[in-house]
Amino acid sequence: MRALCKYLFKISDEEINSLEIPTGNPMIINFTDNLKIDNAKYLDKERAKPIINLD
């Protein structure tokens, strides 16, 4: 999961170590027609960790 997030969100080698992926809280990622990430959110907002900056 960490490798997939690193690729999709273009996370640097230094930043990937601080990425927390919560157990049992699926993330929904919506893509544009050009397959760029439009937005991303966790299903359970109460337990959600901050998502990587998508800008």
User: Which of 3, 50, 8 lies closest to 25 in space, CA to CA?
Assistant: 50
pTM for the complete prediction?
Answer: 0.69
Q: What residues does each domain of the chain span?
A: 2-42
H or E stretch including 37? strand 37-42
Confidence band for 45, pLDDT divided at 50, 70 and 90:
confident
Q: From CA 10, how far away is CA 40, in angstroms rounded?
A: 14
Whether residue 33 has pLDDT greater than 80? yes
